[in-house]
Amino acid sequence: MYIHQHICISPQQTNGVVDLEIINSSQDGKLLAIEPQLQGVPPSMLRRMSKAVRMGMGAGLPLINEKNIDGIIIGTANGGMEDCIRFLNQIIDYDEGLLTPANFVQSTPNAIAGQLSLITKNRTYNATHVHNGLAFENALTDARMSLLEKPGTQYLVGGVDEISSYNYNIDYLAGWYDKTKSNDDLYSTHTPGTIAGEGAAMFIINDIADNAFGKIEAIDAFQSTDKEQVEARFKNFLDSYIPDTNHTLLISGENGDSRFLPAYATCEFAIGSSIPVARFKHLTGEYPTSSSFALWLACHAFHEQGLPAHFYKNEHNLTQIDRAILYNQYQGKQHSFILVSR
């Protein structure tokens, strides 16, 4: 399946005039997304939207307005978690009395896909995948199956997640985040924990090769805490889909957490030291659907035929990028490999 248009909202300058040379710094261990100015959204709806929905609208609406699509497929781990907690607190505060329906409506995981459908009056296929760190990968798989079933159709596919205070506090207490870390030296610290992030990336995907930004060749998503199994799956992925690694870039989801470095190092060793490794979580922070940013980054690298120097982990002489392998994992349990070519 082919990627024809894309929009990315992140903590960096990735929307509108893209500038990846400038890196906005994290604050208190968080990288907050730069919200877009939403056009065509009634103010009465806008003020009720959570940040996740606003980011989803900002990335998805411009794409839907330009294309006739046959479905909206979104991956999100938490959806509007902030509104969900606000609604649950109201149940206690008002003793199950008069509750605000807006918080309930905005709190469901499918609020993003639903709002996109309502505003654009798109009554086609509408699905939301909520498989935590593999939510975006399952959205892509859904799109691929839909295209196999109905050739000639096209879909809006995206990944969206916000930093909610509830989720951040839970994950911080669980040891997933470290408030003392920043994105300025994310990869030089060798301790557990990383920085939190958020964002939204949306793509128009169909089965037409002409004028495409990139082609998604293969997806492998699985759950495992066994490093040897990750290594075996990665080697099998390389053998099955990548007979030639010339002009190939490995985009790694390394996030500065020392506990997950062995899995990334294993894959880097398996593909060989001659393959350049690009890291991106010093721009985004960690969030469950960050692989959607990695896919957007691969398309950007194809278009520009390179990335700024701060992305690269090792010395390289890559002057042409024909394919990118994305390896991302979430909390050491959920792993995915995606092969993209131009």
SS3 132: helix
∠ CA 277-9-137 to the nearest 5 degrees? 60
Instruction: Tell me how far CA of residue 251 lies from CA of 159, 284, 310, 324, in angstroms.
Output: 17, 14, 13, 7
* Whether the model pTM is above 0.85: yes
- DSSP for 211-276 reads T-SEEEEEEEEEE---HHHHHHHHHHHHHHH-S--TTEEEEE---SBGGGHHHHHHHHHHH-TTS-
Per-residue burial over 25-60, b = 16 or more CB atoms within 10 Å of its CB, e = otherwise: ebeebbbbbbebebeebeeebeebbbbbbbbbbbbb
Neighbours of 313 (CB within 10 A): 15
270: exposed, middle or buried (Cβ count in 10 Å: 0-12, 13-18, 19+): middle
* Euclidean distance between CA atoms 31 and 17, whole angstroms: 20
Q: What is the rounded (10 degree) CA torsion for 94, 96, 100, 101?
A: 170
H/E run at residue 83: helix 81-93
Q: Which residue has the tokens 């498989």?
A: 131
Q: Which amino acid is at 14?
A: T
* Whole-number pLDDT of residue 89: 75
Please choose, from the candidates 76, 37, 5, 10, the residue with its C-alpha nearest in 3D space to the C-alpha of residue 300. Answer: 5
Instruction: Tell me how far CA of residue 202 lies from CA of 63, 290, 296, in angstroms.
Output: 8, 12, 8
User: Along the 342 residues of the chain, how does pLDDT read in single tens digits?
Assistant: 999 999 999 999 999 999 999 999 999 999 999 998 888 788 877 877 888 999 999 999 999 988 889 999 999 987 666 667 777 777 777 777 776 666 666 667 788 999 999 999 999 999 999 999 999 999 999 999 999 999 999 999 999 999 988 889 989 999 999 999 999 999 998 899 999 999 999 999 999 999 999 999 999 999 999 999 999 999 999 999 988 889 999 999 999 999 999 999 999 999 998 899 999 999 999 999 999 999 999 999 999 999 999 999 988 888 899 999 999 999 999 999 999 999
Residues 6+ apart with CB under 8 A from 121: none
Radius of gyration of the chain (CA): 19
